[in-house]
Amino acid sequence: MSITTRRDCEQADSHDPLGTLRDRFLLPDGVVYLLGNSLGPLTESAAARVERAVRGEWGEGLLRSWHEGWWDLPSSLGARLARLIGAGPDEVLVTDSTSVDLYKVILAAAMLRPGRRAFVTVADNFPTDLYMLDEAAAIHGDYEVRRAANIESLVDTIDEDVAVVELTHVDYRTARVAPMAEITKLAHDCGALVIWDLSHSIGAVPVDLGECEADFAVGCTYKYLNGGPGSPAFVFAASRLHSELLQPIPGWHGHARPFAFEPFYDPAPGIRRFASGSPPILSLAALAGSLDVWDLVDLGALFEKSRSLSELLIVRLEPLFSAGQIELASPRDVSQRGSHVALRHRDAEALVASLASRGVLADFREPDFIRLGIAPLYLRHVDIWDAAEALADVVTAGPNPQSA
Ligand SMILES: *Cc1c(COP(=O)(O)O)cnc(C)c1O
């Protein structure tokens, strides 16, 4: 349906199959929250689950809680989020941060390709990905990190010397979606393994790691999954690789028989070998609570609503684009765009502050980007309509109308 008035937005929202999920979030009044791609908001179920973990499991259960669910949380939460990325339930583990998991999978993948001496990525990848590739290369000695200028020029950098290609699926600035199936095949044809960073993809865009025959993936749970500040990341490894896999931070939580306290490391079967030390149980409890909401989500309806909201936003801003007042930095084609919309303006930082004073929370990214995160579980068409109005006002008035 085409939306041309705020009334149309209300109509669309009243027929929204995900509409009731908004009530599960504890959002402040009077705010349009477009930062769910940075820090997802609190759900009632996460708050309740943390309360239970603190007072019940820790307070009452004490040590025995390790054996009544805590020990299995990294695997059981991994199994619950697997369907969001097209993975099998035994292929995902929740552990550590995305940064640390990158380090683990880069070196794990490199160990599967002995003799090859190069890693490939793109120059504008997320900084932590670049740092981890450089560090993994340095630790291993004479490794070379090749930074392609962009996704298009990857093809010129992948050859028989490449062990690992590591890329972010949805660009954190522009929301551009990299062609996962194509690139994975390109790398496999040269015998290289591929790692996908899904931090801006999970819960935001369709991902089918199984269908793409992806090797490894990592990603955040505190963005679209609403797992809470610093909630642990996830790591995926295709089950066909499990038996040969070793990772560089072996610890007792990833041992085959942790309570035998053996003096030498023997990796647990399967994805569990990616565990290192004791996980942050209270953070895992928050993630478990937020997944209670995700378990209810029909993914087809989610992606359709994401597209509907981001198209509405762009269509409402089109007059500003054609007047040259602000620039669209995301792909115009919805099939190539993730679930946020990026704009560019020389006064981006001041505009974000003006928006905040009107209750529209968006973020600024260096040097001149404004990012508007579209999280369909709690955002409505009316919110997007109002955010577009506010944006048009502040762009037209200038960032500081009083002092202009
Ligand atoms: C947010 C983000 C991260 C964050 O990594 P942490 O170590 O979990 O803080 C990593 N990669 C990408 C692409 C991101 O967007």
Q: Is 172 in the pocket of ligand 1 (CB under 6 A)?
A: yes
Going by C-alpha positions, the residue among 271, 283, 288 that lies closest to residue 232 is 283
For residues 12-45, b (16+ Cβ closer than 10 Å) or e, as one string? Answer: bbeebebeebbebbeeeeeebbbbbbbbbbbbeb
Query: pLDDT band at residue 401, thresholds of 50, 70 and 90?
Result: low
The Cα–Cα gap between 17 and 301 comes to: 7
Q: Please identify, by atom number, the ligand 1 atom nearest to the C-alpha of residue 99.
A: 7
Catalytic residue, chosen from 25, 222, 224, 274, is 222
Evaluate: CB of 98 within 6 angstroms of ligand 1.
yes
| pLDDT, the chain, mean | 96
128 lines ligand 1 (CB under 6 A): yes
Q: Which protein residue has the closest C-alpha to ligand 1 atom 1?
A: 199
> Mean pLDDT across the stretch 364-373?
96
The DSSP secondary structure of 86-99, one letter per residue, reads T--TTSEEE-S-HH
Residue 168 Cβ inside 6 Å of ligand 1? The answer reads: yes
pLDDT tens sequence across 206-234: 999 999 999 999 999 999 999 999 999 99
Q: How far is the CA of 94 from the centre of ligand 1 (A)?
A: 14
Q: Is the pTM of this model over 0.95?
A: yes
Rounded-to-integer distance, Cα 381 and Cα 385, Å: 6
The tens digit of pLDDT for each residue in 66-106 reads 999 999 999 999 999 999 999 999 999 999 999 999 999 99
The predicted structure's pLDDT at residue 403: 45
State if residue 109 touches ligand 1 by the CB under 6 angstroms criterion.
Answer: no
- Residue among 371, 378, 380, 383 flagged as catalytic: 371
Residue 128 CA to ligand 1 centre (angstroms): 7
259-291 pLDDT tens trace = 999 999 999 999 999 999 999 999 999 999 999
| Percent of the chain's residues with pLDDT above 90 | 97
Separation of CA 16 and ligand 1 centre (Å): 31
